Structure 1
Amino acid sequence: MRVMTNILVCCLALASFSSAASQDLVTKAQQENQQQKVLDSKRQAEFKQTEQALRKEKAELLRQRNQIQQQTDRLTKQFSTNETQLAKLQDKLRLQSGSLGELFGVVRQNAKELQADISHSVTSVDANKYSSVVSQIVAAKTLPSIKQLTGLWKSFEEQISASGQLAKVQVPFVEGDGQVKTVDAIRLGSFGLITNKGYVNWNAISREANAYIKQPSDGPTLSSLASLSIGQVQSVVIDPSKGEILNQLGEVPSMMQRLKQGGVVGEIIIALLVLGIVIAGIRGAYLFKVQKQISKQLKEPEAPTDNPLGRVLNVYHQEPNRSVEALELRLLEAIVDEQAHLEKGLSMLKLLAAIAPMLGLLGTVAGMIETFQVITQFGNGDPKVMAGGISMALVTTVLGLVSAIPLLLAHNVLSSQAEKVRTILEKQGLGIVAEQAERDSKGITPAKVQSPKSTVGNVA
């Protein structure tokens, strides 16, 4: 009974606790609900403010769009009106100008040509009074005025008069070190500008003169034109192309420049030519000396001296009692020795004459190989990039031929001179052997033998 009572008491306590807890939860829920309503009211107020701001912004944008659209419509209407008015004005201008448009084209074309002539002519040194008017006509987009047309006419007249004048002027001259100084000059019409250094190149844009790379061999100078300035007749070398020929003259290579174009092969050929000339000169001087000595020896065969013929004759005088066979062999030996001295260096000369054209051919092949390499790298659109290889090919060929021809000619001349001397020695030797054979056949003793007389006259 007591246990039941305890259980009942516990159930009542739990029921009272549960009721209190439920009451607390309801209270918290009501408080949170109240707070959420406050937050929702605040956010709703913010949304309404934002909506009102966006509506105002939209209304402003719509107002601006309408305003821009109205302005666009107004401008479009104005553009159409202006275009119609412009077309009417152009028709009116065409009717009023008539053929003046074609005249303006002709005037402007002639003004451009005159401006180009002035910019490249030496007459702009002192005859450029109306150049500004010509520039205005060239740059103009409208019909030239009467003043401008008059200035164009005056400019033509000025240039025509200047082309026939011999005028003394002073021009700024650019030295080789870059310094500019004023020098005296003579303007020879429209053909050239001449100073003490000859023709000078006038730059009308920078209004400065500089020297040409190369001057004509008989070109005029300031001092040589002194007689021409006082009216005396004098022939003067002029450039009718107004500087183009003088510029091309500077690009013509000199002899040393052409030799340098041959490269290493060309230098070798030149060295061989110099070596051959030295050999030919030495051997030519030796043969000339030998010929003079032989001519003198032929006049006095009884007294052999130190020369090829004297040494051959001395073979007999050293031992006149030799047999014919022994004398013949000794004379042949002496002649062969002298022939070796006479022909010394001629084989080298012939070899150089043969090697020179072969080296020229080698340089030609090397130059063409270089040309093809350049074509492979840069194409063949610009001939200047191929000029180096072609120059080497042609220059070495020319050097080879130029070297071979004089060397071959020298070899033939010297060989013929050596052959003449050898022929004289052989004839003298044969004469000695023949006289010795006759003496042996007649039984003449060596004590009674006279020196053999010369069988050959003077050397040709």
Structure 2
Amino acid sequence: MRFIRSLSVACLLPVLSMSAVSIASDSAAVAQELNPALQALTAQQQLLKDVQGFVAEDKAEQQARLQLFLQDKAQQEALLKAAKTRLQRAAEEQERLKAQFDRNEEQLIEQETLLKQRTGQLGEVFGVVKEQSAELSQQLQASLVGAEFIGRAQSLSFASDKAVPTMAQLQTLWFQLQHEMTHSGTISHFNTEVADTDGRIEAQPVVRVGTFNAISSKGEFLNWQPERQQLSVLAGQPESSHQQQAAEFFSAVSSDDKGGEASSEYLLVDISSGQLLALIGQKPGLLDQIRQGGSVGYIILALGVMGLLTAIYKLVRLNLVRHKITRQLKAEQPSEDNPLGRVLLACQQKLQQIKDKPVTSETLSDSLNSTLDEALLKELPALESGQSMLKLLAAAAPLLGLLGTVTGMIGTFQSITLFGTSDPKLMAGGISQALITTVFGLVVAIPMLFSHGLLSSQSRALLMILQEKSLAQLNQLNQLMIWQPAVEPVKKPQDKPVSELVTG
């Protein structure tokens, strides 16, 4: 920008100089008139000096920039030369390494040829040895014996080498084979690290039974993890009786090691080396099956619990009533704390109410019969209460199970529609719900039917006792009555009070 400004001022200088010359040649007469022009000329000369100064500064700046550029160019040329030197050295090193590689290849071929010549027929033997070593290494890693002897497979690492096995390596193969066969038939007690179900690792005593089982001091069955070379507690344990048996077996083995007497010699053994025990963890428990039933399953179980509590409550009540009735049969006077006593009291109270009224014997008998029927009807609801609800639950539970079956199958078919039939696990949820809810419905309905039948039979038996004893009481009263000949309807003069009809 300063350069452009200087260039503009330089272009104006000739014009300004010509103006100054023309002004100087004028006459003195007009000198006084030209004083403002002379002053302008002085200002223009000062401007010219300023422009010349600006041009000098710009030139010095351009010279400095040129020097920096030349220095940078020299540095870049030096770097380029150094890079070419390194490239030449790398190319020479590449040629040398290539030649060395070719020489190594030739020597390797010669050595392999020499090896084949020297080994002769033993080459096949060495191949079989390496093959067996590789197989044994895998077996040792997967064997339960490795929990006690860690790192055995590392001694067979020569199976992957190209070199001829040495005598020591051959002896190692023989030793590991013999070691595995020997310890696969022994029961051993040792300490090792065990991972529990929460992932915590803790050193604890362990008993190993051959290559089949490993148990802890608590009777927990352990699983061998070859990839981690570590024992872990099985997520799904056998029944508590088997765990108790395992704990006693552990104590017995510990006692044998200390010179004591063994208390148990029996143990649940998994001949599949833990595979069958591992499947126990995948078997759904009771809570898992309940969760598989879904909301319908929860409803069925809730109804079953309600029906069961009702049946137990009514069964206890009926037994108490039976006990009170039995006690009433042995008593001389009726009591209000039992149905039989209340029925008898109702008959006696009715007899007392009409004792002094003039009625006929037929009217008295009808009145007592009506009072007896009324008292029995009052006791019947208390004896038969709850049976209708049990009957309803017994009928509704299978229907709810069928509802769960239908909804489960709908979910199964939706999974088939979305994902096809390639993965059975996607359909397992719907099928489980369909089957579990059906089972829940039947499990609830069958006890409800038996409970309803039991309560119904007991209530009928108690009702028969009430009818029998109350009728016996009524017959006893009828026997005490003095029956008169046939009389006219009620309110005739010959009608007598009840007190005169009953003797004693």
Post-superposition shift, 1:332? 1.3
- Equivalent residue for 1:227, pick from 237, 251, 255: 255
Post-superposition shift, 1:346? 0.7
Q: How has the CA–CA distance of structure 1 residues 438 and 369 changed in structure 2, closer, same or farther, with 3 Å as cutoff? A: same
**Residue aligning to 2:434:** 393
Q: Say whether the 8 Å CA contact 2:146–2:152 is kept in structure 1.
A: no
Post-superposition shift, 1:317? 0.7
State how far apart, in whole Å, the 2-side matches of 1:319 and 1:249 are: 72
Unaligned segments of structure 1, at least 5 residues:
1-77, 452-460
Q: Say whether the 8 Å CA contact 1:324–1:436 is kept in structure 2.
A: no
Q: CA RMSD in A?
A: 3.4
Are 1:384 and 2:425 matched, yes or no? yes
Q: Say whether the 8 Å CA contact 1:202–1:209 is kept in structure 2.
A: yes
Post-superposition shift, 1:127? 3.3
State how far apart, in whole Å, the 2-side matches of 1:445 and 1:304 are: 28
1:306 aligned counterpart, secondary structure: coil
State how far apart, in whole Å, the 2-side matches of 1:96 and 1:163 are: 36
Q: How has the CA–CA distance of structure 1 residues 94 and 255 changed in structure 2, closer, same or farther, with 3 Å as cutoff? A: farther
State how far apart, in whole Å, the 1-side matches of 2:438 and 2:338 are: 43
State how far apart, in whole Å, the 1-side matches of 2:426 and 2:165 are: 48
**Residue aligning to 2:225:** 203
**Residue aligning to 1:113:** 135
Are 1:127 and 2:149 matched, yes or no? yes
Q: Say whether the 8 Å CA contact 2:197–2:234 is kept in structure 1.
A: no
TM-score (norm 1): 0.70
**Residue aligning to 2:472:** 431
Q: How has the CA–CA distance of structure 1 residues 230 and 424 changed in structure 2, closer, same or farther, with 3 Å as cutoff? A: same
**Residue aligning to 2:448:** 407
Q: Say whether the 8 Å CA contact 1:304–1:311 is kept in structure 2.
A: yes
State how far apart, in whole Å, the 2-side matches of 1:236 and 1:200 are: 14
Are 1:309 and 2:309 matched, yes or no? no
2:396 aligned counterpart, secondary structure: helix
- Aligned residue pairs, count: 367
Matching residue's letter, 2:170: L
**Residue aligning to 1:189:** 210
2:467 aligned counterpart, secondary structure: helix
1:171 aligned counterpart, secondary structure: strand
2:221 aligned counterpart, secondary structure: strand
- Equivalent residue for 1:268, pick from 299, 316, 325: 299
Give structure 1 regions of 4+ aligned residues with deviation exceeding 6 angstroms. none
1:225 aligned counterpart, secondary structure: helix
**Residue aligning to 2:412:** 371
Q: How has the CA–CA distance of structure 1 residues 195 and 307 changed in structure 2, closer, same or farther, with 3 Å as cutoff? A: closer
Per-residue CA deviations over 1:399-453 (Å, capped at 9, x if unaligned) read 21111111111110110111111112222343344445555562496437479xx
Stretch of structure 1 that moved more, 201-210 or 349-358:
201-210
Q: Say whether the 8 Å CA contact 1:368–1:389 is kept in structure 2.
A: yes
Post-superposition shift, 1:211? 1.6
Post-superposition shift, 1:280? 0.9
Q: How has the CA–CA distance of structure 1 residues 167 and 438 changed in structure 2, closer, same or farther, with 3 Å as cutoff? A: closer
Matching residue's letter, 1:135: S
Per-residue CA deviations over 1:294-319 (Å, capped at 9, x if unaligned) read 12222336434332111211222112
Per-residue CA deviations over 1:161-181 (Å, capped at 9, x if unaligned) read 222333343323335554434
1:164 aligned counterpart, secondary structure: coil
- Equivalent residue for 1:160, pick from 167, 177, 181: 181
1:319 aligned counterpart, secondary structure: helix
Q: Say whether the 8 Å CA contact 1:359–1:400 is kept in structure 2.
A: yes
**Residue aligning to 1:417:** 458
